């Protein structure tokens, strides 16, 4: 038997380009705890997209599971942005 290893990670979809953004582990750990509370205040966090380099505020409720591995930062786009 060959078992296929499917990687997944917790993240949000970028509000600008819709690419998945991996969230820090501490944010991913908060979601199950907050969902079990009956009166939970809105919780939010800021992350930067590694593709379009834009930041946005996301809710803990926006976190979902994505297949594959998280995108790495685009070093070329970052270097081009700081050169101008």
**Is residue 3 a part of any domain in this protein?**
no
Question: Which residue segment(s) compose the domain that 57 sits in?
Answer: 8-83
47 pLDDT higher than 90:
yes
**Is residue 20 a part of any domain in this protein?**
yes
Report the number of distinct structural domains present in the chain. Answer: 1
Global pTM exceeds 0.85? no
**Is residue 58 a part of any domain in this protein?**
yes
Please name which of 53, 45, 47 lies closest in space to residue 73, comparing C-alpha atoms: 53
State the DSSP H helix or E strand holding residue 19, giving kind and residue range, or none if neither: none
Per DSSP (E only), the strands in 1-84 are: 8-13, 20-22, 44-48, 55-59, 64-67
For 2-44, the pLDDT digits (tens) are 455 668 999 999 999 999 999 998 888 887 766 666 555 568 9
Distance CA 79, CA 75 (A): 6
Burial environment of residue 11 by CB neighbours within 10 A (0 to 12, 13 to 18, 19 or more): buried
């Amino acid at each position: 038997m060959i078992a296929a290893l499917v990687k997944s990670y917790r993240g949000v979809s970028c509000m600008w380009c819709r690419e998945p953004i991996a969230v820090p582990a501490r944010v991913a750990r908060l979601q199950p705890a907050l969902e079990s509370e009956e009166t939970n205040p809105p919780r939010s966090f800021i992350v930067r997209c590694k593709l379009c380099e834009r930041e946005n505020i996301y809710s803990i409720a926006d976190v979902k599971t994505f297949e594959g591995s998280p995108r790495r930062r685009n070093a070329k786009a970052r270097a081009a942005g700081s050169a101008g």
